[in-house]
């Protein structure tokens, strides 16, 4: 193992802190996942739009399992987290020209989904400790055109849900809770995703509950759930009772036009198996993150905090703020690259602010020029959100799969950070 006394950092060709030992692989198939996929393969039903075969679909089974896990009334699986967010927005009545408040520090889908329903994302600043939507900033962003608030539980933190829910109720706005990075986390002993009018999840390859691609929207409101069903299945929904075998199960009601954003039977079967492993994996991540909090804190780093109401965290990413003294010498991106070289593990800065993110570029899509002046309203320029900007320059993160390792892995991570931070003056940039 390399030490701080070695002649060169790994990024400069020196021996790395960690070499020859792999990190945990993600996604990790759960026991029974392969058998479930083979069952679907030979079932004659790969989609919920296939003819009814006499048994509940895997999609219906997963929806029931996930609703039970979350203790919520309804779950509508979708093709992606993006699909879940868009159907949630539309089901809540958000449409052309409406404003939707979103946190300025988030993955681009927080803004692009709002654009996708012809509405206007309004960026609000985040809390400097949690990196989640600041309730005070959210209230300051409300205008007569505001139609919804979207809160994102970012990386490993839960937002201040009590304050945000009270804010939404005070102004009569739906609160859409994006829990794409928080499967299994709890706030006041309730699962993340169940505090908002609608909760949305992603089951993308990177997520702690994964089927490669996929998502879900959850709610306790039967009418909203029915609208989401129509919006994700070309205007069709499931019947109150099953049809005769061989007949289509989805009913063409004509209530609400939708699009095809359904989850496949393969993904649904995989999620049923993966869900059984979620709590145990989250417990391992949580214990390792607690150890890292202590080790990196001793180096002068500040781990991302969660809100006071959090009763159990999960970790999509482990995020940590670098010491100010180091940031005066070198950028977070350069430090992240150097730590990556020491570990053979990708460490990177947190998301760029949405108003400064090259992935958020409405002008690149002709569809957003549909109304004169609309493109100006949704342009990324002209935002001054100091907390978001500072957080993007200060924090680095790595994927939750590393937290499925053992204590020795956590000590390797701390050793790599320590080595790079001690010799940050040797880095360029």
Region of residue 250 (left: phi > 0; alpha: psi -120 to 50; beta: else):
beta
The reply to whether 207 belongs to the active site is yes
**From CA 151, how far away is CA 218, in angstroms rounded?**
15
What does the block give as tokens for 327? 């940031």
**From CA 88, how far away is CA 153, in angstroms rounded?**
17
- Would you list the DSSP string of 74-107? EEEEESSHHHHHHHHHHHTT--TT-EEEEESSS-
What does the block give as tokens for 143? 């205008």
Region of residue 344 (left: phi > 0; alpha: psi -120 to 50; beta: else):
left
Given the residues 191, 207, 276, 358, select the one marked as catalytic: 207
Residue with tokens 């999840």: 201
Report the chain's terminal Cα–Cα distance, integer Å. Answer: 27
C-alpha dihedral (209, 18, 391, 319), degrees to nearest 10: 30
- Length of the chain as a residue count: 429
CA 160 to chain centre: 16
Number of C-beta neighbours around residue 328 at 10 A: 8
Task: Give every CB contact of residue 151 below 8 A, 6+ residues apart in sequence.
Answer: 103, 132, 133, 159, 161, 164, 175, 176, 177, 178, 196
**Local structure of 175: helix, strand or coil:** strand
Active site residues: 207
């Amino acid at each position: 193992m390399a030490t701080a006394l070695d002649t060169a950092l790994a990024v400069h060709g020196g021996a790395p802190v960690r070499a020859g030992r792999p990190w945990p692989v993600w996604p990790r198939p759960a026991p029974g996942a392969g058998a479930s996929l083979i069952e679907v393969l030979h079932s004659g039903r790969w989609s919920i739009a296939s003819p009814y075969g006499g048994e509940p679909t895997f999609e219906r089974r997963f929806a029931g399992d996930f609703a039970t896990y979350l203790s919520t009334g309804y779950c509508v699986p979708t093709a992606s987290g993006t699909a879940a967010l868009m159907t949630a927005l539309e089901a809540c009545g958000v449409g052309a020209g409406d404003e939707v408040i979103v946190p300025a520090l988030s993955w681009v889908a927080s803004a692009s989904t709002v654009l996708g329903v012809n509405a206007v994302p309004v960026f609000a600043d985040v809390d400097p400790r949690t990196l989640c939507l600041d309730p005070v900033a959210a209230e300051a962003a409300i205008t007569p055109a505001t139609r919804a608030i979207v809160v994102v539980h970012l990386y490993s933190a839960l937002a201040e849900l009590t304050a945000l829910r009270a804010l939404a109720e005070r102004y009569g706005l739906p609160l859409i809770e994006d829990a794409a990075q928080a499967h299994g986390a709890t706030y006041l002993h309730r699962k993340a995703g169940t505090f908002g009018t609608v909760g949305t999840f992603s089951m993308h390859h990177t997520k702690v509950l994964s089927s490669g691609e996929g998502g879900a929207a959850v709610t306790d409101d039967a009418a909203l759930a029915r609208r989401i069903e129509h919006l994700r299945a070309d205007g069709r929904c499931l019947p109150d009772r099953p049809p005769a075998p061989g007949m289509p199960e989805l009913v063409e009601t004509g209530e609400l036009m939708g699009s095809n954003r359904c989850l496949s039977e393969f993904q649904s079967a995989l999620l049923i198996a993966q869900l059984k492993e979620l709590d145990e994996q989250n417990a391992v991540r949580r214990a390792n993150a607690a150890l890292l909090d202590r080790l990196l804190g001793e180096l002068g780093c500040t781990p991302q905090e969660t809100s006071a109401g959090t009763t159990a965290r999960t970790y999509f990413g482990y995020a940590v703020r670098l010491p100010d003294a180091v940031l005066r010498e070198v950028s977070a991106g350069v430090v992240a690259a150097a730590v990556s070289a020491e570990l053979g593990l990708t460490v990177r800065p947190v998301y760029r602010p949405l108003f400064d993110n090259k992935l958020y570029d409405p002008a690149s899509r002709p569809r957003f020029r549909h109304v004169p002046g609309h493109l100006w309203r949704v342009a990324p320029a002209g935002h001054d959100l100091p907390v978001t900007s500072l957080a993007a320059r200060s924090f680095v993160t790595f994927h939750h799969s590393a937290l499925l390792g053992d204590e020795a892995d956590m000590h390797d991570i701390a050793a790599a950070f320590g080595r790079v931070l001690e010799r940050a003056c040797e880095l360029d940039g």
